[in-house]
Structure 1
Amino acid sequence: PHLRRGRTPPGRSFVVRVPRGGGERFAARLGELRGDWEKFDTYVVGYGERFEDVATQFGISRSKLKELNEVEHESEVTGGTILVVPRVSEADRRANLEKAKDELYGSGVDHKPGEALIVPVPDKDAHEEGKRRVFYRVVFGDSLTGVARAMGVKVATLAKWNGLASDAKLHPRMVLQAWVADDWREAKANVRLLDETRILVVTRGSKEHLELSEARTGRERVEYTAKKRESFEQIGKKFGLGKRDVARINKKSPDTVVEPGETIVVYKVVDHTRSDRAEKQWKQLPKAERKKAGATKKPETKADAKPKAEKDDGKKAEASKAEAPPVEEADADVGPVTTPE
């Protein structure tokens, strides 16, 4: 077919074929349709921009946006896709965009409003000479090839930076790190990056990572040293855990017996209201221990802390500003909108 969707491509002239003898009727109907067009614009989706972010930005439900663009699944919409969107004022759009950002950074597991998004990477202290590190959150339809192309890096290099195979499939909500050239600009590339003042970067699988993750669930990672010979089942009961839970944490058999002086790791509930997981474990505690856990206040952890960039004093912040690359005039968070002619 000449057109695959019920509209012409935006941004350029297009010759529309009509049935022979139907020219006059088409011209008359075209005039009536122009009034409908004035209610819509076209929008170029950015790399790393979620479908729901676009919907929120333009004040429309995801289902309605799908219907408007004849989209069956969100994976069809990737960076560079042109969507038809309702026309909204710039002020409303920016207000909606802030709401979308809050939803994005609040979508971590057991995340609470105002907390930084935990971003685990192979090595939080990794460095590439002459380049700057950026963080990209994967959305439906993304591939290593597409993300690498948008950032101007090689696929194999991007995979290596993130501990992935070159043919690895990406899943929504994964966060990729990349080192880009100093002159690379996300606005020009139409890429949506994570705000580094709203994330906490940790080394994947490190003690810091595990402690932060458990703190988000309302639990604390504790090293338990046996005073007498005890089984995983006996120790687990003290903390509301089953023997298989203790085995999984310590990567040992559920039937393991701990000798006096031997140390293992368990998770202790410190705030049972924080997550369903903590609530379930708290209910498995012995009654006396449950009262203690219920009365225990959650200790302040690194998960409660502000990201590093927010902790710096005024002088440090000023220094960072001075060293930062120049800001594009175009707003990287606000993608281009085109009004149909």
Structure 2
Amino acid sequence: MTKTPQKKPGNAAKAPGKGSAGSSRVKSSTRNPDANARRQVAGGSTNDDVAAGYESAELRSLHEAERELFPPASPVPGQTWPTELPSPLSSSPDRPHVHASGLPPAPVASAPPAAEGGRNLGWMADLKLPDFPIRWDPRLVRYLEFFKDDPRGRSMLAIWHRRSGRYRTMVSTILRRKSVPEDLFWIAMVESGFDPAARSPVGALGLWQFMPETGKQYGLLQDRWVDHRLNPQLATEAATEFLADLQRRFGSWELAIASYNMGYAGMLGVVRKFNTNDFWTLARLEGALPWETTLYVPKIMAAAIVGKNLSAFGLSEDKMEPPVEYDEVVVPPGTALSQVASAIGLSTKEIVDLNLELRAQRTPPIDPNDKAEQKAKGAPSSEGEAAVGYPVKVPVGKGALLTQNMSKIKKNYVASERYVVRFGETVEQIANARGVASSKVAELNGIGPGEVVRGGTVLLVPAAKGGTVAAPTTSDKPVAIVPSDVFVYPDRKRVFYRVVTGDTLRDVATTFHVTVDEIRRWNEIDPAGRLQEGMTLQLFVPPDTDLSKVLSLSENQVRTIAVGTEDFFTYWEGQKGRRRITVPAKLGETIEIVGKRYGVTPASMERINRKNRNEVLKEGDVVVVYLPANSKKADPGAQADDPFAPEPLGPLPTPPAPGSLP
């Protein structure tokens, strides 16, 4: 199902010790939800306050079937919405009564209309109902018939029913503990097909398909090391709180479930626009709810009814898969999951599948002095802990073996320490400062080809000998090319910044506390263009600007050269083994004739002098010629290397990952 960026929930690691995704041992101490954000979602106090993307093949198939089951998504303009089906439940007092807050009276019981094919719906009267309100809407009935009678629907249900065993106990335990209807468990089926690695095209991730921002609000950590949206237990805790907050905001489970799909801000706007808080009314109004949302609520209801009536849908004989269970063992920061697998004689994939939240397939660096970070990442922080590490999940029964073989991991463990990348710093620069190859730093941190590491990223780097890192030295100051205009600010200091891949003018301006327009003027930059790696920007910043987290150079650390000056040409042409000379033209000569005298091609002479090769010069006109640095005054007709002859490009560098570009 396509999600809007307003909705989705994140992934996390459990505390050390034996755990189970199907166990009742559920801990929430490893998450730090934003309480104010939760109150904003809930529109006031939350329940807690009062009490103290890959879409599976089955989901794709369901979405395709929906387009057959529900054409069109809305009535043709000018026509009325199809008559609702009557409730298949009798009004007998010994039968359960279906209710929903704010709904209009149920239609009078009668046979289904002829337009519906005269189908017999009597079998629905014996169905057990879930623990949240049900409305016998035609879409709900259509879903139930699809799941019962259509081979595609039966096949999907069989797969999902078996797979649900992996997380049923764990999810139900959390829902029950939070006083939320346990049958909301089936939202996870519709969201991900019970696949904790599911990813949607819009960036929703995990069992409950959280979007990044919502996940962060509900305490699901996301950085280059971990993404707690991929942790089934922590994502379930967050989803439960999110659903509870939505219900508290809207007062009905229909709107809460619909808001989980389309975003609560969007739902608020729709309710206010159409001046009704009835989901079923909104589902009928033109331009109110997205088509997917009008189907989402009855689809959840249908799945919950199926879960209560396995025999009626032919699922009673299908056995569910066993719950996902595991042991947890704390290993050092930077430990590769392949090392863990090797230590206990399993494949790397088996360990990766249990630790999906570890994006680099390696445990993250953790600041031993930062208790908040230890708590967020699930690291042990109790008194007397020998060393800070990260809890890794392994199959049940393998925890003791991993602890026993921990020496094998530590034997190959490279002494490392936590390092926060400065803005503008590259992996190559970090590696050079440590005296190691950049490939070693990349391997230690699981940095893939083309991945750009941005400022603020936490990396593991080889420990510096003696406890300090020597700054790189060079015999010559780096050169900064600046415009010919001179800027003077008595109340500011000039610094220089070397652009890295992915930088934008806005990022640079924010980091140095200046404006985009100022950077444009100081460097003759087109704000619509993309900054290129290797460019150097001059910046005039307030004297109290904190640059400790930025890789920049002060004015006395660089050699500045203005564009177009003699120094400029001497520097750049000297880099290429050339020297620049000027010669006076003779009467009637062209730049082509002058160039031929020094062995320079007409095309190069045009580029150097910005004149047409056939333009007749006046006597004494100055003509610029580039010559090899070691050449003497050339004789007429002598040949010199063409300064603008094509040069071999050499191997192409690794392109940056698309996501790292602005």
TM-score (norm 1): 0.66
Pair 1:77 & 2:432 matched: no
Where 2:481 maps in the other structure, the secondary structure is strand
- How many Å separate the matches in 1 of 2:481 and 2:412? 47
CA 1:119/1:240 → structure 2, altered by over 3 Å: closer, same or farther? farther
Partner residue, 2:428? 52
Q: Following superposition of structure 1 onto structure 2, how do residues 164-313 of structure 1 map, counting pairs within 5 Å?
A: 164-187=525-548, 190-269=549-628, 271-272=629-630, 282=631, 286=635
Change (3 A) 1:224 1:43: same
Residue 141 (structure 1) aligned with residue 496 (structure 2): no
Q: How many angstroms apart in 1 are the aligned matches of 2:500 and 2:358?
A: 28
- Sort the Cα spacing of 1:54 and 1:74 in 2 relative to 1 into closer, same or farther, 3 A: farther
Gaps of 5+ in 1: 103-113, 273-281, 292-341
Higher RCO (CA 8 Å, separation ≥ 6 residues): 1
Separation in structure 2 between the aligned mates of residue 160 and residue 34 of structure 1, nearest angstrom? 54
Determine if contact 2:497/2:553 at 8 Å carries over to the other structure.
yes
Contact 1:283/1:290, CA 8 A, preserved across alignment = no
Partner residue, 2:363: 7
Question: Residues 37 and 219 (structure 1 numbering): CA distance in 2 closer, same or farther, change over 3 Å?
Answer: closer
| CA distances 1:56-115 after superposition (whole Å, capped 9, x unpaired) | 222321222222211123552121122211223147731xx33xx43xxxxxxxxxxx44
Query: Which structure has greater strand proportion?
Result: 1
Give the direction of change, closer, same or farther, for the CA distance of 1:169–1:28 in structure 2 (3 Å limit): farther
Number of residue pairs aligned between Structure 1 and Structure 2: 264
Aligned to 1:160: 521
**Per-residue displacement from partner, 1:295-338 (whole Å, max 9, x unpaired)?**
xxxxxxxxxxxxxxxxxxxxxxxxxxxxxxxxxxxxxxxxxxxx
Moved more, 11-20 or 146-155: 11-20
Shift of 1:152: 2.1
Do the aligned partners of residues 181 and 39 (structure 1) sit closer, same or farther apart at CA in structure 2, a change above 3 Å counting? same
* Cα 1:290–1:168 shift into 2, 3 Å: closer
After TM superposition, give the deviation of residue 211 of structure 1 in Å: 4.2
Q: Which residue of 2 aligns with 1:297?
A: none
Secondary structure at the aligned position of 1:56 is classed as helix
Task: Give yes or no for the alignment of 1:132 onto 2:493.
Answer: yes
CA deviation after TM superposition for structure 1 residue 156, in Å? 3.6
Counting only pairs closer than 5 Å after superposition, residues 36-51 of structure 1 correspond to structure 2 as 37=413, 39-51=415-427
**Could you say if the C-alpha distance between residues 41 and 192 of structure 1 is closer, same or farther in structure 2, counting changes exceeding 3 Å?**
same
* C-alpha deviation, 1:116, in angstroms: 4.0
Q: Which amino acid aligns with 1:232?
A: I
Q: Separation in 2 of the partners of 1:208 and 1:136?
A: 21
- Does the 8 Å CA contact 1:144/1:168 hold for their aligned counterparts? no
Instruction: Tell me by how many angstroms 1:9 deviates.
Output: 4.7
Please list every run of 5 or more consecutive structure 2 residues that lacks an aligned counterpart in the other structure. 1-355, 368-372, 379-390, 641-662
Q: CA deviation at 1:24?
A: 3.3
Identical amino acids, percent of aligned pairs: 28
Q: Distance in 2 between matches of 1:9 and 1:268?
A: 54
Which of these two proteins has the greater Rg computed from alpha carbons? 2
Computed over aligned residues only, the root mean square deviation of the Cα atoms, in angstroms, reads: 3.2
Looking at structure 1, the residues matched to 546 and 477 of structure 2 have their Cα atoms a distance apart, in angstroms, of 24
8 Å CA contact retained: 1:74, 1:141 = no
Q: Is the 8 A contact 1:231 1:256 kept in 2?
A: yes
How much has 1:218 moved relative to structure 2?
A: 4.5
Residue type of the partner of 1:201?
T
Q: Corresponding residue for 1:328?
A: none
SS of the aligned residue for 1:258 comes to coil
Alpha-carbon distance between aligned partners in 2 of 1:75 and 1:127, rounded to the nearest angstrom: 39
AA aligned opposite 1:159: R
Specify the alignment match of 1:151 in structure 2.
512
Contact 1:243 1:255 in 2 (8 A): no
- Partners of 1:117 and 1:198 within 8 A in 2: yes
Q: Tell me, what secondary structure is at the counterpart of 2:455?
A: coil
